[in-house]
Amino acid sequence: MIVTLRLPPGAPIDEDLLGRQLRMGRTPVREAIKRLALENLVTVFPRRGTFASEINITDLADVSDVRIQLEGHAAHRAAERITEAQLEELNNLLEELAQSRGSDDRERLMALDARVHRFIYRCAGNPFMEETLGRYLNLSLRIWHLVIDRLPHLFTRVHEHDEMLRAIAAGEAQRARQILAEHITTFEREIRTVL
């Protein structure tokens, strides 16, 4: 809800209400909020409460800088380390990308984009990199959801993953790195044009 802005930046987080909505007890909700605070998705003000973190657009350049380097490396590693089971999952993602051609469902396209990125992180075979990239992706997704209705080439950007996934499947590590780095750079540039 925080990443997709259903809980908008600055919105107060009511632990009791959230627990009821998610059908969870108080302890898991509190633990989740602590983790979200570490990931810069919520801000806790002592004696005032917990709020969805504000989005600082100036963070986009720094977040993208990290993602370009680490995700490029993750794509490289994924091409080297992908397993047979992951190749089957990759083919399913390619099929889903093909089925989404012509779609104008921006939320669905963004969810597919995020699933592809998270898939690459898993295929890289490095849990530390996967965790780190997951956090940076969440920060990026919040910015994207802020401007999703103004992104002119969302469909094109999401479908760049087709070529990247094929490079990973073919074991073309350097090509996969380059495609993913260019994808992030282009997405950042397009977001800046609509801000």
Q: Is 6 among the domain residues?
A: no
C-alpha closest to that of 110 among 143, 82, 88: 143
Q: Is residue 177 part of a domain?
A: yes
Residue that the structure tokens 């898939």 belong to = 119
Best CA proximity match to 90, nearest among 187, 144, 153, 171:
171
pLDDT digits (tens, 9 = 90+) for 85-144: 999 999 999 999 999 887 778 888 889 999 999 999 999 999 999 999 999 999 999 998
Domain check: are 88 and 105 in the same one? yes
**pLDDT single digits (tens) 61-97:** 999 999 999 999 999 999 999 999 999 999 999 999 9
Instruction: Give the domain range for residue 147.
Output: 59-194
pTM (2 d.p.): 0.89
Please check whether residues 64 and 142 belong to one and the same domain: yes
Q: How many domains does the chain have?
A: 2
